[in-house]
Amino acid sequence: MQNYDIKKERRDLYSARRDRFEIVDVPRMSFLMVDGRGNPNTSADYRAAVEALYTTAYAVRAIAKEKLGRTHTVGPLEGLWYADDLSVFKTRDHDEWSWTLMIVQPGWVTSAMVDEAMERVARTKDLSAGHRVRFDDYAEGQCVQILHVGPYDEEGPTIARMHEEFMPAEKLVPRGHHHEIYLSDARRTEPSRLRTILRQPVGPAHT
């Protein structure tokens, strides 16, 4: 039985260069998602959302193996970040951040399988955010991305270069939400060694 691992199958989307920005085309993909708001460093709601996502993702994997005979590696945690006032990202005012946490799903996963997984989880686990998990598609199209190595709170200068230097030089403007893909397990990795893909959907600048 061959195992599917999106980090290996789509290296263009789940790996990135540290030394330069890249432009990639991201297709529509399916995700488990949870929406929330607040400081990811201190919010109990954020931790609950992460737990609900991973618990559901592993339940989906088990069902896919049982019903379809297909196995896959659970994908990395991803986050979309947004706010009414974008200046809160520069000031690092975490309490004003809104987020959508996500885990990508293989193309053979269906909404019925996710519903069954959520029912199984509800019977065996008491997850405060379990009922908030949803299964949805997300399409980004053209994006700029780069690999950041180091603490999450040191991403600012790289994001600034992306928006203030690379995009104008390529005649691109941001659209949609700032996207981060967490390739490292923050519970087991020193902050200086954390690997995060920083991604921003873009469109042509109108001159």
174: three-class secondary structure by DSSP: strand
Average pLDDT score, the chain? 93
Of 199, 178, 161, whose CA–CA distance to 26 is shortest? 199
Asked whether residue 207 carries a pLDDT value surpassing 90, the answer given is: no
Phi, psi of 3 (to 5 degrees): -90, 135
pTM of the model: 0.94
Q: How far is the CA of 119 from the CAs of 63, 112, 126, 130, in angstroms? A: 12, 11, 12, 10
CB 166 within 8 A of CB 146: no
Token digits for 197?
Answer: 């893909």
Give the C-alpha distances (Å, rounded to integers) separating 197 from 21, 26, 39: 11, 14, 20
Listed range (72-76, 131-135, 158-162) with the worst mean pLDDT: 158-162
Higher pLDDT, 33 or 94: 33
Strands 3-4 and 71-72: parallel
Checking if the pLDDT of 127 tops 80, the result is yes
Torsion angles phi and psi, residue 185, rounded to 5: -90, 110
Tens of pLDDT, residues 85-97:
666 666 666 777 8
Give the CA angle between residues 81, 9, 17 to the nearest 5°. 55
d(C-alpha 162, C-alpha 97), whole Å: 20
